[in-house]
Structure 1
Amino acid sequence: MKNLFKSQRGSTIVIFSLLAVIIIGFTSLVTDIGMVAVYKAKLTHAVDSAALAGAQELIYNDYPVHIKVDEYLSENGFPDHSAEIDTDSNSVRVTAFHRVEYKLARLLGYTSKEIHATAKAKVLPVIGVNQGIRPFAIEAFDFEFGETYVLKQGGGSGNSGNYGAVELGGRGAQIYFQNIVEGYNDRLMVGDYINTEPGNMSGPTENGINHLISQCNHIPKCTHSSFDPDCPRIITVIIVDNMNVNGRSSVQIIGFASFFLEGVAGSGNKSEVTGRFIRTVTSGENGDFNQDFGLYGVKLVE
């Protein structure tokens, strides 16, 4: 009996030892698999951000795309990454790789696992702007980068009392002035109809435009060829196919464009608003659209 008891106790110790090894091994794998999943999610987020930032550089051209992508991957927690970057005229595709070093799974002979994530961002014309549009509409034109255009005409010009102002959210000089300073606080889409705002309203126009220009505090001062995207002198306006209408009339939005405000030229009711055409990126709805007026959105397509 004594030998039998010793034999059973020895078998129990062996079984518990084997179970302990199995439990420790399983725990190690679960812990490290969880760590890999966390790194995979972080890498996916970093690659998404890098692809979006890289695609914006197709418009701004401030930095080479690969430098911007590497910068975003590093800033989002992957300084030791390797990446494959493919670009064309309107998209950037990024695949980044990262090796995750195992901790506990090394006890079972597993040392590391390589993970990767891919994202593609595409630049598309904006077909809807959520907010911030200024109350000016100009006729569609083959705009040239850096050229100066009249955004609102002065007295003596215009068509049947219309000088380029539009009614957004209500009529009158006070609402018009507020929309110049703050931008229209609602969404507009290609295909929407809006009303023109007849009258010169030279006072609100001059005060509003001068206010926006004075709010550029960047050093050095922004210009149409070198600007902070959030500069108050960058405004978004409405593009229509025809402003040759009588009095307060309905016109249809066919696109949006951005301009760098140059100022208010002339004096009194002869003053006119001028700006230089620029290409830039904004938030809003974008899509494949045959009208391209230089205002873009960037979105992930894979």
Structure 2
Amino acid sequence: MRLNLLTQKICYNYQYNYKKYLYKKIDFLLYIYIINIFIYKKNQMLSKIKKILLQPARLKSENGAVAIIVSIAIATLIGVIAYVIDTGWLYENRRDLQSVADASALAGVQELPENPGLATQKAIEYANQNNLSINASDVTISNTFVNNDTITVRAVREDMPMFFAGIFGQNTADVGAVATATIGSPSKVTGIIPWGFVSNDYTPGVEYTLKYGSPPEPGPGNFGALAVDGSGATVYRNSIINGATTPLSAGMWLDPETGNMTGPTRHGTNDRISNQQNYIMDSFEALTEQVGSVYKLTRDDSQFIVVPWVTSFGNGNQPVQILGFLQFVITYSQGSVVKATFIDKAILQNNYEMGGVDSSGLRVIRLVK
């Protein structure tokens, strides 16, 4: 498309090389295209007016009204085009601003509720890295479920240049966006792995046995397996591969899956790990980031699991009660034995029902505004 002088001037006034700009800003190309259509239509109208003015005097009187109507139509069209271009320009900038504000809030909320100061700092750092200048006064920490579990980021870009609104006396406009994120723990959990953790001691970065292969087992005839979605080898194996589908909450009771379940444990764990991209078991260090004494999951991976924290296993089919939920990274699997390393903070974004932050560390973050 050949750009006319008006188009080039618009791009020049806003310090863009118009050829590069068209490659980088597809939405803006639409605006430019509209301008060129408008200019083409305008030239057609002016040509018609010129023909009218060159007609004999007796026809001029008849067509004078037409010229006036066409002139009014041109003025109206200019106003409409100006509104469309300026509104689209502001909308595009607000959309970009909202994306940065959302991401800044999500970056900060992960430090809540323990460290609101660090949460504010993280939000500011992320915004600044994405060409958005904010300071502490633009970040607010508030309460939703517990104290200091919610963060709000307000972002404004002032004096955004307008293309045509200057005709009506407005050369610039402010664009703003607000993002609010909250953190909590799931009140109900799905997708858990059917192994029960019974110890009251869970230290970040330490490896624990979740599924035992031989005595001393957690209880007579029990090796740590649970019948969450029902009993049987196939159900148990599928619960390892995909996570159990039954929603669970603290206080519920579960039946043990008695017996060693060697084959289903081995096949289920191997299939779960092979579902990830590289088909191999990554190290704990490759999947986590240590900040001080805290370990955080750095990316989604099938080695990351959530298991019920339960009361001690008894004899045979004696049920165990859920005390809470803990998160681990599988770091060892051999035969019927599975070991995993405990991780402090596992941040999930999903549709879990949320409540106050659980001391176990399993947490959900969500944009709420």
TM range (shorter): 0.7 to 0.9
Select which of 255, 264, 267 maps to 1:195: 255
1:296 maps to amino acid? R
For the 8 Å contact 1:130–1:284, the answer to whether it is kept is no
1:160 to 194, 202, 220: 220
**Which structure shows the higher helix fraction?**
2
Deviations 1:28-47 (CA, angstroms, capped at 9, x unpaired): 45763465356445533542
| TM-score normalised according to structure 2 size | 0.61
**Residue in 2 aligned with 1:184?**
244
Distance (whole Å) between structure 1 residues aligned to residue 122 and residue 237 of structure 2: 40
Q: Which has the higher strand share?
A: 1
Confirm or deny: 8 A CA contact 2:332 2:339 kept in the other structure.
yes
Residues 129 and 284 of structure 1 are in contact (CA less than 8 Å); yes or no, is this contact kept in structure 2? no
Pairing of 1:110-259 with structure 2 (within 5 A)? 110-131=170-191, 133-139=192-198, 141-156=200-215, 157-213=217-273, 215=276, 217=278, 221-224=282-285, 225-226=288-289, 228-240=298-310, 242-259=311-328
Which residue in 1 is equivalent to 2:9?
A: none
290-299 vs 136-145, which moves further: 136-145
- What CA distance in whole angstroms lies between the structure 2 residues aligned with 1:220 and 1:185? 24
Relative distance call for 1:16 and 1:273 in structure 2 (3 A) is closer
Distance in 2, Cα, partners of 1:113 & 1:70: 22
Is the 2:273–2:279 contact (alpha carbons within 8 Å) kept by the matching residues of 1?
Answer: no
Call closer, same or farther: CA 1:69–1:140 in 2, change over 3 Å.
Answer: farther
**Aligned-partner Cα distance in 2 for 1:69–1:195:** 49
Contact 1:169 / 1:184 at 8 angstroms: preserved in 2?
yes
- Answer yes or no: is 1:277 the counterpart of 2:334: no
CA distance in 2, matches of 1:218, 1:57: 32
**What is the root-mean-square deviation in Å for CA atoms of aligned residues?**
4.0
1:83 aligns with 2:152: no
What residue identity is the alignment partner of 1:235?
A: I
TM-aligned CA deviation for residue 301 of structure 1? 4.4
CA displacement, residues 173-212 of structure 1 (integer Å, 9 cap, x when unaligned):
2221222122224543444443221112123223433454
Structure 1 counterpart SS, 2:220: coil
Deviation at 1:146, TM superposition (A): 0.7
1:50 matched to 2:104? The reply is yes
Q: What does residue 36 of structure 1 align with?
A: 90
Task: Trace 1:17-28 onto structure 2 (pairs within 5 A).
Answer: 24-25=78-79, 28=82
Q: Does the Cα contact within 8 Å between 2:284 and 2:341 map onto a contact in 1?
A: no
Tell me if structure 2 keeps the 8 A contact 1:196–1:251. Answer: yes
SS at 1:139 equivalent: coil
Task: Report SS of the residue matched to 1:134.
Answer: coil
> What CA distance in whole angstroms lies between the structure 2 residues aligned with 1:126 and 1:111?
49
TM-score, structure 1 normalization: 0.73
Rounded to whole Å, the distance in 2 between the matches of 1:159 and 1:189 is 23
Specify the code of the residue in structure 2 equivalent to 1:298. Answer: I
Work out which of the residue numbers 291, 295, 298 in structure 1 matches 2:362.
Answer: 295
Q: Shift of residue 114 of structure 1?
A: 0.9
Identity, in percent, stands at 29
Between structure 1 and structure 2, the one with the greater Rg is: 2
In 1: Cα distance, 2:357 partner to 2:323 partner: 10
1:204 and 1:52, CA in 2 relative to 1: closer, same or farther beyond 3 A? Answer: same
